[in-house]
Amino acid sequence: MTDCLFCKIIAGEIPTSKVYEDEFCYAFKDINPQAPVHILVIPKKHLASVDEIDCENSIYVSKIFQVIPSIAKNAGLLNGYRVVSNCGDDACQSVKHLHFHILGGRQLSGEMA
């Protein structure tokens, strides 16, 4: 998708603080961190949100969740972390390319919404 911010990041057209990359995903520090560690993990295939995950493309989600633990540990999150994906307007999704937030580095709120 040519007008997608995260597709441009994957293509190297927009610089990021990359923390991990493989065939299926790209992970980088959130530009507006909401916790001491705030990393975004995105699939290298344009999917607008969780709503677009299906049998054909769920390999991307599976691969992402296989590497999230090591991304978190490498970021120093040894005492836990939260993984969040906002989907749609009610969840305040601002970038319409599927992404998973990894949040941690302090005691997070028990409130999730």
Residue positions annotated with a catalytic role: 99
1 lies in the binding site for Zn ion (CB under 5 A): yes
C-beta separation of 35 from 106 below 8 A: yes
Per the listing, tokens 């390319």 go with: 97
User: Per rule CB under 5 A, is residue 97 in the interface with Zn ion?
Assistant: yes
Which of 29, 44, 46, 82 touches Zn ion by CB under 5 A?
46
Would you count residue 48 as binding Zn ion (CB under 5 A)? no
Q: Of 5 and 19, which CB lies nearer to Zn ion in the complex structure?
A: 5
Q: Out of Zn ion, ligand AMP, none, which partner does residue 1 contact, by CB within 5 to 8 A per kind?
A: Zn ion
Q: Can you tell me whether residue 102 is helix, strand or coil?
A: strand
Query: Exposed, middle or buried, 12 (CB in 10 Å: 0-12/13-18/19+)?
Result: exposed
23: three-class secondary structure by DSSP: coil
**Chain contacts with Zn ion (rule: CB under 5 A):** 1, 4, 6-7, 46, 97
